[in-house]
Amino acid sequence: CPAPSELLSVNGTRVCAQLYADSSPYYEQCCGGAVLVVAPDEDMPYLPRGWAGKASSLVVGTRCELSVWSRPGKNGKKKKFGA
């Protein structure tokens, strides 16, 4: 997985979080498969098509916080992740 301070998009802009579709009990094999990039101040009350229940690994950038809910539309239990 990339270090939180290394999260940058392909054009070099800052990324606040990356969610990955594939995971593994072995750390070096985590953060694989499809990637969902979350930009600074991005609000996503609903995950893009095909991502519901798919994220298995995540990295949150420095000076960022990722809030997720257990149900669509920011409903259910809330959990926050940081670097």
- pLDDT per residue as tens digits for the range 15-32: 999 999 887 777 777 888
Q: Is residue 10 part of a domain?
A: no
- Does the predicted model carry a pTM greater than 0.85? no
Residue 11 lies in a domain: no
* Residue 25 belongs to domain spanning: 17-44+52-82
**Dist CA 83 CA 19 (whole Å):** 13
Q: How many domains does the chain have?
A: 1
Please report whether residue 9 resides in a domain: no
Measure the CA–CA gap between 70 and 83, rounded to whole angstroms: 21
Q: What is the pLDDT of residue 79?
A: 95
Query: Can you list the pairs that 36-39 forms with residues at least 24 positions away whose Cβ atoms lie under 8 Å?
Result: 37/9, 38/66, 39/9, 39/13, 39/14, 39/15
